Structure formats: C-alpha cells, structure tokens
Amino acid sequence: MPQVLIVSSDADYRAVATRVLNNAGHHVTAVPHAGHALIECIQRPTTSVLIINENGADGPAGDVARRLKRYSRNLRVVCMSDRPTARGGDATVVRPFTADDLLSAIETACALSITEQQ
C-alpha cells in the first residue's frame, strides 16, 4: 500500500481522511502545512502520494509538490478542488467528495506511476 501524506490546515479533515485511509490499509501521515510535509518527505523518501488542496495556504499544489519531489522522487499528487479541472496533480478529487472518491483518486494517481515505469 502507498505511503500517503495529507497536507491540510483543516484538522477535522486530516483526522477523518486519516481514519478512512488507514481503514483501507494505507499508511498515512497528516500534517497542517507544507513545512511539516517537507520534513516528512526528507525523513520518509518513500512517500508515494500527496493529498493537498489545489490552492492552499502554502501556495499552488504544483509548486508544493515540486519542492517535495526533491526528496520523494516518485511522489504522486491528488489535488482537492472545487472544480474537476484542477492543475498541479496527477488526480483530482472534487469537493464535496466521498471516501470512495478519495480512494479512487489515490488509485488513479498510483496507476499513473506504474504506467510511467513501464
């Protein structure tokens, strides 16, 4: 199962998403901002999926992901967005979304990683 890193300033969202993903068998770390995410990627370069707001307090998801990919080179990005055409991610989950939507977005992002390796 992928190592998932959630970056969100919303503590309630982090708690719920962590519980949902843990129950699905994912290894999850949830942090409130990109600074903590950077530390996690340095300490765990095997982190494989980043879940982040398309335009969060730390800036655009694509910019944050580029910084984190310096340490977690195979990182895939799932953007949470209010619109289906989000930029900066390998997969998008549109608010409001269900647990199944989030799991599906992670699966999509991970499938891209496998396809690119072939």
Average pLDDT estimate for 33-49: 96
Query: What is the percent of the chain where pLDDT is above 90?
Result: 85
CATH number belonging to domain 3-117: 3.40.50.2300
43-63 as b/e: b if 16+ CB within 10 A: eeeebbbbbbbbbbebebbee
pLDDT reported for residue 118 = 45
DSSP of 79-102: EEESSTT-SS-SEEEESS--HHHH
pLDDT reported for residue 6 = 98
Average pLDDT estimate for 83-106: 92
Helix (H, G, I), strand (E, B) or coil at 108: helix
- Map out the domains of the chain as residue ranges: 3-117
**Residue 31 confidence (pLDDT) above 70:** yes
**Interior CA angle at 116 toward 78 and 50, to 5°?**
20
Rounded to whole angstroms, the Cα distance separating 2 from 57 reads: 25
Amino acid code (one letter) for 109 = A
